[in-house]
Amino acid sequence: MSLFKTPRTSLAEERLEKEIHDLMHALEHLRSSASHDTRHGYERLRARAEDLLQHSRHHCHDGAHSLAQHCHQVGQCTRDCVRAHPWASLAVGVGAAALFGMLFARGRDH
């Protein structure tokens, strides 16, 4: 036995070692549970992101399909109008070309 070591200090050292061991065990448990919670949260977040992506794709596909149908209908109406009124359509086209030409030429002068 050491000169400064008494049964009391030996008991205190044992208690301190046990507390350190218990603390290390608690920290290890906290780390593993935090890791599990983080992994679980990540998996939930990933699943939510995938659901939102699928919803967005579906919504985008529906919007694109609707837009394509609308553009097709506008094209058919335009074609029918041009066939019904060829001279008026030609006049509108020439007028639009003249207007764009004037605007383009005016923009280059400044």
The reply to whether 64 falls in a domain is yes
* DSSP-assigned letter for residue 6: -
Q: Does this model's pTM top 0.75? A: no
Residue 98: the pLDDT is: 94
The reply to whether 2 falls in a domain is no
Q: Locate tokens 């280059």: which residue?
A: 108
Q: Locate tokens 């609707």: which residue?
A: 66
Helices vs. strands in the chain: H and E counts, helices first: 2, 0
The whole domain housing 51 covers 7-109
Give the Cα separation of 92 and 88 in Å (integer): 6
Q: Which of 70, 90, 74 is nearest to 82 (CA)?
A: 90
Residue 92: the pLDDT is: 92
The reply to whether 1 falls in a domain is no
Q: How many domains does the chain divide into? A: 1
Q: Averaged in consecutive runs of 10 residues, what is the pLDDT profile of the chain (110 residues)?
A: 61 84 86 78 84 85 87 93 92 93 82
